[in-house]
């Protein structure tokens, strides 16, 4: 291993950048659909050794001193984001005659922009770099902060936060109930960097073995906690609540075709039609349709509302994604929201929620006037785009507990899937991943949704046009699912919510405390090594 580490440390020029990019790209194998998390025990030590070798002469300016490390960070980040997000380009091919020219922006420029954050992060890491185990702590602390910033600045884009590489299965996922995805990200950088302690230009004494053993124990404790928590799990369900989730799997080019709207609506009606009762005699009480399953403004569509009323049995409720419109003041243009509607068996719209966190360039255009002047519009063919809702709120539907509706992209934001001060009985995520076809994108989206359920200790019901519809319990176990491209229905019961988790009560405060302790330990370790060396 020492020979391998030394060969990487001594790389220079384009070879160094190429290895960084390849290591970053290979790290994506730890994400869905592959879930080969152990790959990161190779790629992250490579990153550490590349930073080990990114030294310059003392006495130069700060920028010159960190420039080699910043280049390593950018190339590693570019490889990670390009390999992990290439599928975004598929959405630009749905209406290729209008958007295909933007494909290079999606698959090259966007990852390149995200990689700037990693470049800044590794540059900061290099400023506080040292020998031995403290450098591993510095890497984990700084890069977790960088990933947190990526998830929050400019409306946030936490997709494929590095912590997801350490969450391949439910036993690994349970730690999210304590520290959330940002705590898992800190843990992931720590444990995946651990092999770098055994080789390279770090400390050669007993300390590296102590640090390596401590990190190994942390990982074992993580997995042990997961198995313990799952071992005490129950399978309780909410009495009298029977769900029917419809996944129509309508191709995206057909779904957005106005001429096909009526046929698509009939497809949902046909799939939803009650058939023979289940073996236990139960019939659906709640029908769930995905994001924008109904393309009409139902307040202006009495025929469609009547059809829904005819479909629903007595006491049955439909919860569906659909656009909703309103005019704020006389004379102002009408605002259209991407919404979730609750419809009773009489065809009455009983409640609604408007999507708060819209997708930039997908549902609205930042700098709209300027970009439209360049001939660019959002992917959704709606003049002016969608308008964001004002607040997150719970909805009620029939005899089910109140639920927190999350429309598509909203589900990836940790700590934001429930309204402040209100705890629902479950989370409903309606989505349409048909924009991205049969690619890793829908699988990655599904994993992130599952982690939100574990963080909050709440069951998750997920309805997708296509893109994985499922019922997930509060432990992140998938009870039933329909995979990408499969049309059909899921009939199942609603799991019972758990008591509030540590993360749902304290959010990222716990991670902040852990980070402060790690900073103190790293500082003491660095000082001790310097004294010993002197």
Across 58-78, average pLDDT: 87
- Are residues 468 and 434 located together in one domain of the fold? yes
CA distance to 17, 54, 73, 76, 493, per residue, from 68 (Å):
10, 5, 9, 12, 55
Which of 147, 203, 291, 410 is flagged as catalytic? 291
Q: Is 373's pLDDT higher than 70?
A: no
Tell me, yes or no, whether 211 lies in a domain. Answer: yes
> What's the pLDDT at 199?
81
Counted domains in the chain:
2
- Are residues 153 and 302 located together in one domain of the fold? no
Q: What does DSSP assign to residue 287? A: E
Tell me, yes or no, whether 26 lies in a domain. Answer: yes
> What's the pLDDT at 283?
87
Across 156-184, average pLDDT: 97
Cα of 100 vs its chain's centroid, Å: 26
Residue 59 tokens, joined: 């006495």
- Are residues 210 and 83 located together in one domain of the fold? yes
Q: In what order do the strands lie in the sheet with 237-247?
A: 349-354, 335-343, 317-326, 286-288, 237-247, 488-495
Task: Please report the beta strands in 22-86, taking only residues with DSSP state E, as ranges in sequence order.
Answer: none
19 pLDDT band, cuts 50/70/90, is very high
- Are residues 210 and 88 located together in one domain of the fold? yes
- Are residues 217 and 251 located together in one domain of the fold? no
Tell me, yes or no, whether 57 lies in a domain. Answer: yes
Active site residue 408: yes
> What's the pLDDT at 401?
98
Tell me, yes or no, whether 366 lies in a domain. Answer: no
- Are residues 527 and 456 located together in one domain of the fold? no
Q: What is the CATH number of the domain that holds 453?
A: 3.60.110.10
- Are residues 140 and 285 located together in one domain of the fold? no
Domain carrying residue 282: 237-356+391-495
**DSSP of 429-445:** EEE-GGGG-SSHHHHHH
Across 349-368, average pLDDT: 83
- Are residues 275 and 181 located together in one domain of the fold? no
> What's the pLDDT at 95?
82
131 pLDDT band, cuts 50/70/90, is confident
Tell me, yes or no, whether 375 lies in a domain. Answer: no
Q: Is 81's pLDDT higher than 90?
A: yes
> What's the pLDDT at 359?
87
- pLDDT tens, residue by residue, 266-291: 999 999 986 666 556 678 999 999 99
- Are residues 111 and 66 located together in one domain of the fold? yes
- Are residues 52 and 119 located together in one domain of the fold? yes
Which of 408, 410, 455, 456 is flagged as catalytic? 408
Q: Is 108's pLDDT higher than 60?
A: yes
> What's the pLDDT at 75?
98
Tell me, yes or no, whether 500 lies in a domain. Answer: no
- 268 near 455, Cβ under 8 Å? no
Tell me, yes or no, whether 460 lies in a domain. Answer: yes
- Are residues 160 and 302 located together in one domain of the fold? no
Tell me, yes or no, whether 298 lies in a domain. Answer: yes
- Are residues 221 and 265 located together in one domain of the fold? no
């Amino acid at each position: 291993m020492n020979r391998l580490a030394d060969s990487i440390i001594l790389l220079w020029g384009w070879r160094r950048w190429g290895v960084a990019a390849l290591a970053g790209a290979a790290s994506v194998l730890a994400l869905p659909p592959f879930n080969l998390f152990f790959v990161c025990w190779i790629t992250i030590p490579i990153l550490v050794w590349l930073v080990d070798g990114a030294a310059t002469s003392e006495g130069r300016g700060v920028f010159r001193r960190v420039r080699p490390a910043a280049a390593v960070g950018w190339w590693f980040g570019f490889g990670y984001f390009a390999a992990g997000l290439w599928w975004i380009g598929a959405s630009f091919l749905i209406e290729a005659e209008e958007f295909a020219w933007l494909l290079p922006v999606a698959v090259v420029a966007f990852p390149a922009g995200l990689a700037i954050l990693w470049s800044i992060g590794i540059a900061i890491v290099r400023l506080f770099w040292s020998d031995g185990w403290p450098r591993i702590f510095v890497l984990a602390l700084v890069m977790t902060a960088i990933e947190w910033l990526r998830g929050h600045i400019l409306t946030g884009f936490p997709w494929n936060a590095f912590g997801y590489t350490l969450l391949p299965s439910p036993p690994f996922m349970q730690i999210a109930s304590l520290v959330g995805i940002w705590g898992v990200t800190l843990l992931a950088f720590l444990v995946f960097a651990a092999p770098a302690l055994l080789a390279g230009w770090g400390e050669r004494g007993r300390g590296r073995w102590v640090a390596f053993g401590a990190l190994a124990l942390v990982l074992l404790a993580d997995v042990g906690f997961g198995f313990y928590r799952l071992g005490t799990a129950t399978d309780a369900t909410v009495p009298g609540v029977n769900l029917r989730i419809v996944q129509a799997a309508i191709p995206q080019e057909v779904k957005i075709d106005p001429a096909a709207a009526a046929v698509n609506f009939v497809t949902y009606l046909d799939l939803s039609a009650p058939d023979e009762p289940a073996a236990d005699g139960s019939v659906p009480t709640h029908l769930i349709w995905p994001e924008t399953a109904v393309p009409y403004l139902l307040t202006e569509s009495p025929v469609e509302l009547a059809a829904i009323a005819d479909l629903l049995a007595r006491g049955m409720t439909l919860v569906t994604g659909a656009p909703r419109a309103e005019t704020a003041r006389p004379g102002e243009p009408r605002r259209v929201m991407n919404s979730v509607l609750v419809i009773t068996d009489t065809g009455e719209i009983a409640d609604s929620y408007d999507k708060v966190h819209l997708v930039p360039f997908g549902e609205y255009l930042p700098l709209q006037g300027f970009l439209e002047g360049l001939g660019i519009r959002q992917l959704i063919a709606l003049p002016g785009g969608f308008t964001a809702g004002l607040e997150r709120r719970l909805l009620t539907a029939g005899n089910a507990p109140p639920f927190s509706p999350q429309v598509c992209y909203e589900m990836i934001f940790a700590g934001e899937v429930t309204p402040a001060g209100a705890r629902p009985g479950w989370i409903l995520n309606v989505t349409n991943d048909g924009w991205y076809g049969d690619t890793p994108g829908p699988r990655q989206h599904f994993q992130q949704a599952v982690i939100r359920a574990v963080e909050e200790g709440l069951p998750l019901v997920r309805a997708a046009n296509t893109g994985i519809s499922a019922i997930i319990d509060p432990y992140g176990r998938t009870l039933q699912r329909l995979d990408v491209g499969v049309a059909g229905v899921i009939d199942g019961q609603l799991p019972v919510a758990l008591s509030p988790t540590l993360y749902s009560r304290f959010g990222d405060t716990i991670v902040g405390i852990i980070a402060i302790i790690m900073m103190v330990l790293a500082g003491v370790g660095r000082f001790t090594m310097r004294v010993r060396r002197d």
